[in-house]
Structure 1
């Protein structure tokens, strides 16, 4: 996602370059081309006349102190192309007055959050009305930075990933993807809660972060502070600060960037642990049934598909969700968002804290007293990631002339039958012993095979994996699954063979657990039309499973079909 106009500006923008980019598409490790990877939700793009770039270097530095990711263009066409290729991020676009007409064609793009006109030569503030975005002209960089800081804050709060599983699951792509997303975030939490905090975990995470913030003095100070003073017991204090940790965590839990979540696994565990410890305090502060509020805006068609038509279904947020005990706070937030996006659906989540419902997974705590500087967030509740709710009702109301949807949510307890069925696969022995492979499978079902591939490729260099044969075998099996999905059966075969060789280093050759690997190898050979090898591996797998009549049925079917294909080939010759 780069372009020529930014390459000669690297000293200004300071954007780190990574070899892999799960956001922009499949990984090509043989390609010399490298693309920028973003690790926050919001970016600022500045389209400015080329003759003034050098003179505006100080302005660029000020902008970078407001938001870490700044891209500068002097060519409108390249700028528009860059914006059109943005997938996950929200763009705040600054343009010179003479460039304003050139970029009006991108106003309709969902990734474009807001446009600002900036020129030092404009002494009079003016407003340009647009059908979609109201654009204000700024002549003072401090005023512009203050406005961007305000807008980014509210945009970040609105970027929460909502997962809804219908009460009656249909055989549709939508339902399958939502189920995979729901299961994925529950599995990620399960894996993270197993992690034992070691000092090297923090070091690996900090080494990953530093290149992205090298040009941001404030965030580099946060990084140093985190390195010297972070302790598990103060993790909630850290996530209430507008720093690198909260920004990255908020993004990667929204976008399922598993490679980064893996690096932050110890943070996820510490947050959940602290929320669990503080959860009991809620019982002394609330009645049995109290309401907390969270505002949200989203496109109307997305709201209809995801929430309006799924009353009675299960709803979950992939991130650590915050809500307020004050309805006015949530309403004010919605009003602020509608100023920028008046055509969005306005949603007020009313979350019932029914403290009679006990759930080991759904914990929450009041966190406003952790930071004395956060007076405006007084009465703020934080729910653990993946908290599960039931959509009790969806009602349209008019509040202060605002057309709004009230969505009432209640906790789902551990005995809820739909929840129990959804997480049933995570309780199997196969997932317990091979969670990484199953995680890759879920990412594929979500349509995020590139993220899974990125995760597994990164794990190959992780000492905690390549020094542990069992983990390495599972990793190679996961890569085989991904390449099978992508249709690259030769590459899949390569990884399955490595998985088999590694597994044989700690498992006897007649162990039944080898059967699944031999079957995967057989499938890959059959997909490459090598039916002799396919048949040999299927038969070997069946031999290992000779006492498991249920599992052998599918294998026998594979053997029969492969023999038929082999016989057909012989006849053709």
Structure 2
């Protein structure tokens, strides 16, 4: 689909002799050190018009390999530079096809193509049998099977490659791409070569070995036309979304769709010098603003959007949809810099105009609802956010093809709301729907795919499934490594996320390694006061705090705060995060006065920037409560914990994990106050929520069981202590004794066996399958005694 659209755009662009001149230095850079190619490239400008495009394409030089590699791998830079040649080559094939059509249009015929495929690509080909296969590049074939077979056999010199002989059945009635016999105009005049233009589509037929060689296969292909209505509808929609007054305008829009923002910027800046029309200039400012926002340059983005708005306000009526688009764009920038109230105000202005002037199922309305939903999410208004995103999705389902990437955006947004609401199963379902659409409709290395992988990774991270989180973060990283420069900020974001998983796993050395990689990129790619650098310093501070290196933790958090104070408004929410982190370190160090000072600064910002029932306010109240816990001022601690709980109960669904954390904090305070009845009640509430909302292997669930177990022991109820331990093991897929904490809990539970006078046989039968997997060396000395083993009548494994 994307190759088809790009082809159409290239054919609309008007090229001149300067295009040929511009290609020469670009090619010289690509072939540095290759003297033969350099000699041809240096003469290319002078000699290009002396020969036909097909002659140049078949001549053994840089043109053929460079062009087809670019088309196959979507190297947009090269495709743009070679656009004039693509256009010339296609037109010559098209002209020859018309001249030869009298002979071709009535009869089917067979051509061959020999090449190598990687083993991985060959397996994909086998799985796709019966489906469609597209050659995005210009396709060279021959009527001579023997000539093509030699190319297949040559591929066998590489042990990692399978030799493929494509047998292609051409039915001219299924024509979707022009082709021509080129012997009379080719550099090679006797190969009976038939050359197809870009984007030839075939249906995959029989696949069989040649000469019983398991590395040499013949694959039958039949020329086909695309009849899949979803693909046709989506392609047509993409045409509409990349419409423009010229081919260059369309190219700029297309590059933005592909996430190639640097290249799009070059196109639009060049167009500024070609127009004096106000409306045209406003559109260019709008597009530059969009590019700058996606590049993270919010100041420039806002400046460009405001210039566009200024022009539109002069030349358009006040309820014109283009004004609504400008308001929406400005709202997005305010959203990005954390000014949510301003963002919401601009989004609502935009929505009001769209509601007056557009049909109720117009996609621009969906964009407005999605943007309002996102800002409501950041403001903690999850029910309103969900309502807005669902309105957007309903419009898109009504007005767009079912596999349009915009639907994926809505599903991702809905997933993020459910994640914040603690409904992880619904969140995962939404993110997977988004991913399914993107995998079907976007190139495999598109930035939106990376975003979806990242969202799923974040979800698994929150669920405590760190191996899954790591798997998806690494998928994100692979796309970024393939498509972005080595010092792009998105790579740093990926490294930070991977570092967070290792932090959660307690692998602090690995976590620091990834945070340092992130910081190295950010220091090279971003201004020294960019907020992303502060994020990396904060992450490192958290690790140092966990490692007990408090001086380094403070140093890192202070660096983060210093950067944020330079780059952000004094009341920005991110500052509150840094104050909170500093408070946490001082709290851990026992410096409660300093800790309280920072927590109060956090609270001051959050009270200004957040609605009164935002969950982040509750988190800060909870942190202050924990501080007073540490100071043994339990009444004060309890009052803060209850403030937190009051907010959580209003703002969150009843099974949200943060509610469980709040119940847990209150229970812990009651336990320290020796009010075991109240403590038991709140610990049980925390456990019930965690059982409903978290996977069975989540660390917080283990914490709940441990808290109840210790409380029952403090109450002298050893039987209940043992039973709660039994429940903890029953919730896991398989009891394990490889972890020190599991072993410790196991042998402490064993002690309870001898206290359980009522049901000794039941407790003994439960203990047997656990004990048999414990090595003697894992147990304390008292449990290695002979009389202990005799009493249990069990044998432990020897080391």
Q: Aligning the two structures, in what range does the TM-score lie when normalised by the shorter sequence?
A: 0.5 to 0.7
TM-score normalised according to structure 2 size: 0.42
Look at both structures and tell me which one has the larger radius of gyration over its CA atoms.
2
SS at match of 2:112: strand
Match for residue 611 of structure 2?
A: 570
1:224-235 equivalences under 5 Å are 224-231=42-49, 234-235=52-53
1:141-540 equivalences under 5 Å are 183-212=1-30, 218-231=36-49, 234-284=52-102, 286=104, 288-305=107-124, 307-338=125-156, 340-359=157-176, 362-371=177-186, 374-375=188-189, 378-391=191-204, 393-399=205-211, 401=213, 403-413=215-225, 417=229, 419-428=231-240, 430-432=242-244, 435-436=250-251, 438-440=253-255, 442-444=257-259, 452-459=260-267, 463-464=270-271, 467-468=274-275, 469=281, 472-473=284-285, 475-477=287-289, 479-480=291-292, 482-483=294-295, 488=296, 491=297, 494-495=300-301, 497-499=303-305, 501-502=307-308, 504-505=310-311, 508=316, 510=318, 511-540=320-349
Structure-2 separation of matches of 1:186 and 1:436: 13
SS at match of 1:396: strand
| Unmatched 5+ stretches in structure 1 | 1-182, 445-451
Deviation readout 1:505-556 (Å, 9 max, x if unpaired): 4663743134344334423433443111211220221133132222435534
Quote the offset at 1:228 in angstroms.
Answer: 2.2
In the alignment, is the contact (CA less than 8 A) between 1:291 and 1:350 conserved in 2? Answer: yes
* CA separation of 1:417 and 1:265: change in aligned 2, threshold 3 A: same
Match for residue 555 of structure 1?
A: 368
Structure-2 separation of matches of 1:265 and 1:532: 46
Match for residue 31 of structure 1?
A: none
Structure-1 separation of matches of 2:179 and 2:268: 36
Deviation readout 1:424-452 (Å, 9 max, x if unpaired): 223325544663455235534xxxxxxx1
Structure-2 separation of matches of 1:563 and 1:299: 48
Q: 2:354 aligns with which of 526, 545, 550?
A: 545
Deviation readout 1:341-362 (Å, 9 max, x if unpaired): 2353332222222112243xx1
Deviation readout 1:44-79 (Å, 9 max, x if unpaired): xxxxxxxxxxxxxxxxxxxxxxxxxxxxxxxxxxxx
Structure-1 separation of matches of 2:38 and 2:255: 33
* CA separation of 1:564 and 1:198: change in aligned 2, threshold 3 A: closer
* CA separation of 1:477 and 1:325: change in aligned 2, threshold 3 A: farther
Structure-1 separation of matches of 2:108 and 2:377: 65
SS at match of 1:202: helix
Quote the offset at 1:239 in angstroms.
Answer: 1.1
Structure-1 separation of matches of 2:78 and 2:70: 7
Quote the offset at 1:188 in angstroms.
Answer: 1.4
In the alignment, is the contact (CA less than 8 A) between 1:473 and 1:502 conserved in 2? Answer: yes
Match for residue 28 of structure 1?
A: none
In the alignment, is the contact (CA less than 8 A) between 2:54 and 2:186 conserved in 1? Answer: no
* CA separation of 1:304 and 1:275: change in aligned 2, threshold 3 A: same
Quote the offset at 1:366 in angstroms.
Answer: 1.8
* CA separation of 1:564 and 1:199: change in aligned 2, threshold 3 A: closer
Structure-2 separation of matches of 1:210 and 1:396: 43
1:9-48 equivalences under 5 Å are none
* CA separation of 1:397 and 1:500: change in aligned 2, threshold 3 A: farther
In the alignment, is the contact (CA less than 8 A) between 1:440 and 1:478 conserved in 2? Answer: no
* CA separation of 1:425 and 1:564: change in aligned 2, threshold 3 A: closer
Provide the aligned length of Structure 1 versus Structure 2: 370
Quote the offset at 1:211 in angstroms.
Answer: 4.6
Quote the offset at 1:324 in angstroms.
Answer: 1.1
In the alignment, is the contact (CA less than 8 A) between 1:319 and 1:385 conserved in 2? Answer: yes
Structure-2 separation of matches of 1:560 and 1:223: 54
| Unmatched 5+ stretches in structure 2 | 276-280, 382-609, 618-799
Structure-2 separation of matches of 1:210 and 1:558: 45
Structure-2 separation of matches of 1:273 and 1:410: 24
TM-score normalised according to structure 1 size: 0.57
SS at match of 1:368: coil
Deviation readout 1:445-489 (Å, 9 max, x if unpaired): xxxxxxx1342354366x345544367346425524643xxxx4x
SS at match of 2:322: helix
In the alignment, is the contact (CA less than 8 A) between 2:301 and 2:333 conserved in 1? Answer: no
Structure-2 separation of matches of 1:561 and 1:366: 56
Structure-2 separation of matches of 1:292 and 1:478: 47
* CA separation of 1:398 and 1:459: change in aligned 2, threshold 3 A: same
* CA separation of 1:500 and 1:265: change in aligned 2, threshold 3 A: farther
SS at match of 2:23: helix
Structure-1 separation of matches of 2:254 and 2:193: 32
Quote the offset at 1:292 in angstroms.
Answer: 0.8
* Greater helix proportion: 2
In the alignment, is the contact (CA less than 8 A) between 1:437 and 1:474 conserved in 2? Answer: no
* Greater strand proportion: 1
Structure-2 separation of matches of 1:430 and 1:190: 11
Deviation readout 1:274-297 (Å, 9 max, x if unpaired): 110011344455561111111232
Structure-2 separation of matches of 1:454 and 1:284: 47
Structure-2 separation of matches of 1:296 and 1:509: 60
In the alignment, is the contact (CA less than 8 A) between 2:256 and 2:264 conserved in 1? Answer: no
Structure-2 separation of matches of 1:304 and 1:492: 45
